Amino acid sequence: MGLLDGKVCIVSGIGPGLGIELARAFAREGADVAVGARTVSALEEAAAEVEALGRKAYLLRTDITSKADCEALVAGTVKALGRVDVLANNAYIPGAFTLFEDADLADWHATMEVNLFGSLNLTQAVIAPMKAQGGGSIVNVNSMIQKKPLPYQSGYATSKGALTAATKMLAKELGAYKIRVNQVFMGWMWGPPVEGYVVGTSAQMGIPQDDFIAGITKDIPLGIIPDDADCANAVVFFASDLSRVVTGAGLDVNGGEFMS
């Protein structure tokens, strides 16, 4: 028995990191999985892995900044897989890394368009089918950055801060329909994106990779960079009935680097 037996989950932002780990985790726990992203090859890889785990998969190239794309992904999921029980809003862009005084606010708008309004487009699209079936779970993948500010990432942090407020408001509005809305605040996550950053930055700095990683983990009480797959399990919790009475909540998933 899996935690998600009989459920259908949608994951946005499929790529070589948390997105594909979410698809794997949902499938391992017994769910059929729909995936949406702009890169078709990533979608095909994720769908193949879901099917290899014995579950059904549906894929559609999706730009979440397009309301029509989001509606098509949800409608296609319902047609192919029968329902929508879970939405994991994972798609994001980091925006430009600049100090605010040097920032082009057009970049902030673009970052908001994906990280906030894109997630809201997809959320809005799942409300009708979730209401019709008597409930569902929406999980927003948020970031530690808006709790532990860092220079050069103010646009990204601001977009995630707005998502925090939206999560709470939507939990309040949708609770009457048994639709739960929660969020996970991810910190460092070990997977292809972070591994590439570590390799490139340590080489640029001329220091061993282990020393560079030690500089990161010194601030993490568990002493590790959490793995993408382990972080995905936190989303599984909110997707499952284990959290059936939890809504409007945020869970820090960062090895203890920041404690709310």
Residues assigned a catalytic role: 156
Inter-CA distances, 35 with 215, 243, 248, Å: 35, 23, 24
Rounded Cα gap, residues 255 and 29, in angstroms: 23
Contact 137, 180 (CB under 8 A): yes
* One-letter amino acid for residue 246 of the chain: V
**Phi-psi group of 134: left, alpha or beta (phi > 0 → left; psi -120 to 50 → alpha; rest → beta):** left
3-class SS shares of the chain: helix, strand, coil, % to 5: 50, 15, 30
Rounded Cα gap, residues 192 and 17, in angstroms: 6
| Start-end of H helices in 113-153 | 119-133
Inter-CA distances, 222 with 190, 228, 234, Å: 14, 15, 16
